[in-house]
A and B are shown apart, each in its own frame.
Chain A
Amino acid sequence: MSQYKLVRCNINGKDVERMVDVRASLTDMLRNDYRLTSVKKGCEVGECGACNVLIDGEAFNSCIYLAVWADGKHIRTLEGLMGPNGELSDIQQAFIDETAIQCGFCTPGFIMSAVEVLESGELYSREELRKRLSGHLCRCTGYENILNAVEKTMKRRHGIPVD
């Protein structure tokens, strides 16, 4: 017997509500009910970060987060970074410029962690950035380029010149 619950939340700036199966993970809800398919299903046990989204400004693996817990929360996914005319954000553009994308499966998750880093306003060292991004696996192992993309965007936002 299925059990449902009304979940009201704000997704990418829009207030929404839906009856949700209590057995659903937040990944299930975002992908199936809201068609936000940037939220990937990788390991589904909290290890790879492919399903990472921001909840009230903090990064969470949505695969190990119950959909019903989203009630009352502000959720952001990669789709929310898009400008009004479909423009890419600076961090997305940097991933392209630095060739930080190969197959792209890990990219949305990485970028959402990068958004948390960038919006913190902190200027992290390369070592600290490594730690901030350590909850993501890239099976194509493009880590250096990913770090370059995040580091350069961070510096640009701080007005520090980068090549």
Chain B
Amino acid sequence: MYDMKALYEAESVSDAIRLRLEHPEAQIIAGGSDVLVQMREGKRAGKELISIYGINALRGVSIDGDEALRIGSLTSFSHITRDPLIQRYINVLGEAVDQVGSPQIRNIGTIGGNTCNGVTSADSASTLHAYEAIVELTGKNGVRRLPIKDFYIKAGVVDIRAEEGEIQTAILIPKASYENTFGHYIKYGMRNAMEIASLGCSVNVRLSPDKKTIERCRIAYGVAGPVPMRAPSAEAIANGSALTEEMVTEFALSVLSDINPRDSWRASKAFRQHIAVEMARRALIASIEKAGGVIA
């Protein structure tokens, strides 16, 4: 038995908003792979929960009117990885979430939970930052959309207005962001399965039509700071550059001026800085190769 005070089950988004307004103390539970574990550990013992797990309208991937990729917040990791639209337009996201925990965790864990928990090590977070994802929140005043970098406020805290009954309803990837891009995610952990990232790095590139230069490069990290972050100096070096070894090296080294990792029991700051450079290098090379480019 879980030590919970009460459970309210929402059947629709409007139901969830109403329940949130009626029970301001209650916490949202989606797949529960964070919430139920914390409850078991006593951290949320005695709390009320609002379950949104039954809202099937929040599951699945589609293309919306603006040709943005729309990922319902309750879509599980395994369904994201298997989705044909994801595979076609942003395969790196499917590959990244395929590195979460274990098969069972990937069946229960949702992308909404993975972002709403505000955790820097979340395996979807760096890729979503590197694709300038838009977070869609729905509350009593309607829909609010904000860039993912503004959604993260600080470690463990995201911009969801509980007092307005808000829940996250979707994550959108604009066409301008995903179109003609190829990306690669690297998770560094002590073991292959059941391991939280010591550092995560997601890169994506769009090459020029002749595949000789990088038109646009984006790179983002998890665990390189209190929240997931981009590395703008590195991007500036790659953008518009020819595909050379020197560029790749310069790109990789420059991430050190952007990131700010810390010492933790998982890894020291110095080690994280060391692997951050190597991961940037490898992820850029892999992205260029996936895009059909050849490094001279």
Binding site for B on A (CB under 8 A): 3, 21-25, 28, 44-47, 49, 52, 58-61, 64-66, 68-69, 113, 116, 131-136
A46 interface neighbour in B1, B29, B33, Cβ under 8 Å: B33
Name the residue on B nearest A49 (C-beta). Answer: B104
CB nearest neighbor in A for B76:
A58
Contacts of B9 in A (CB 8 A): 68
Chain B residues near A45: list those with CB within 8 A.
37, 40-41
Please tell me if the beta carbons of B7 and A22 are within 8 angstroms of each other in the complex: yes
Please name all residues of chain B whose beta carbon is closer than 8 Å to the beta carbon of A132 when the two chains form the complex: 103
Pick the residue among B32, B54, B194 that contacts A47 (CB under 8 A).
Answer: B194
- B36–A64 contact, CB under 8 A? yes
B104 touches A60 (CB 8 A): yes
The minimal Cβ–Cβ distance linking A72 to chain B, given in whole angstroms, is 9
Picked from A21, A28, A60, the residue with its CB within 8 Å of the CB of B107 is A60
Known: A69-B53, A135-B102. A59 touches B107 (CB 8 A): yes
Chain A residues within 8 Å of B3, by CB: 23
Complex contacts, A66 vs chain B, CB 8 Å: 2, 7, 29, 32, 36, 51, 53
| CB atoms of A61 and B104 under 8 A apart | yes
* B1 and A24 form a contact (CB under 8 A): yes
Q: Within 8 Å of chain A (Cβ to Cβ): is B268?
A: no
How many chain B residues touch A (CB < 8 A): the figure is 28
CB-defined A-B contacts under 8 Å, sample of 6: A22-B7, A24-B1, A28-B1, A61-B104, A66-B32, A135-B102
Q: Which chain B residues lie closer than 8 Å to A28 at the CB level?
A: 1
Q: Is residue B214 contacting chain A, with contact meaning CB distance below 8 A?
A: no
- Judge whether B104 and A135 touch: CB under 8 Å: yes
Q: Is the CB of B40 within 8 A of A65?
A: no
Chain A residues closer than 8 Å to B7, beta-carbon distance:
3, 22-23, 66, 68
Instruction: Please give me the 10 A-B residue pairs with the lowest Cβ-Cβ distance, nearest first.
Output: A135-B102, A134-B193, A22-B7, A135-B104, A23-B1, A64-B36, A61-B104, A58-B107, A23-B2, A45-B37
**How far is it, in angstroms, between the C-alpha of A59 and the C-alpha of B108 when the chains are bound?**
9
- Within 8 Å CB of B192, what residues of A? 131, 134
Residue pair B53, A44 in contact (C-beta under 8 Å): no
Chain A residues, Cβ within 8 Å of B37: 45-46, 64
State the CA gap A44–B41 with chains docked (Å).
10
Residues of B near A24 (CB, < 8 A) are: 1-2
A65 to B194, CA, bound (A): 18
Residues in chain A near residue B33, CB distance under 8 A: 46, 64
How far, in whole Å, are A99 and B4 apart by their CA atoms in the complex? 42
- Measured CB to CB, the closest approach of chain A to B108, in angstroms, equals 6
CB pair A61–B1 under 8 Å, yes or no, is no
A134 to B189 CA separation, bound complex (whole angstroms):
15
Instruction: Name B35-74 residues within 8 Å CB distance of A.
Output: 36-37, 40-41, 51, 53-54
Asked whether A23 lies within 8 Å of B4 as measured between CB atoms, the reply is yes
**Assembled-state Cα–Cα distance A111/B108 (Å):** 19
Report the separation of the CA atoms of residues A65 and B9 in the bound assembly, to the nearest whole angstrom.
14
Q: How far is the CB of B233 from chain A (nearest CB, A)?
A: 36
Partner of A131, one of B6, B108, B193: B193
Q: Chain B residue with minimal CB distance to A61?
A: B104
**Is A49 in contact with B53, judged by CB distance below 8 angstroms?**
no
Q: Are A46 and B104 in contact (CB under 8 A)?
A: yes
Instruction: Tell yes or no: B181 within 8 A of A by CB.
Output: no
With A132-B103, A135-B104 given, can you name 20 additional A-B contacts, CB distance below 8 Å? A22-B4, A23-B4, A25-B1, A28-B1, A46-B36, A46-B105, A46-B108, A47-B194, A58-B78, A61-B104, A61-B108, A64-B108, A65-B108, A66-B2, A66-B29, A66-B51, A69-B54, A131-B103, A135-B103, A135-B105
Q: Which residue of A lies closest to B3 (CB)?
A: A23
Cβ–Cβ < 8 Å partners of B1 in chain A: 21, 23-25, 28
Q: In the complex, what residues of B have CB within 8 A of residue A68's CB?
A: 7, 9, 51
A23: chain B residues at CB < 8 Å are: 1-4, 7
> Residues 1-20 of chain B: 1 if any A CB is under 8 Å from the residue's CB, otherwise 0?
11110110100000000000
B95 CB to closest chain A CB (Å) equals 13
CA gap between A149 and B161 in the complex, in Å: 51
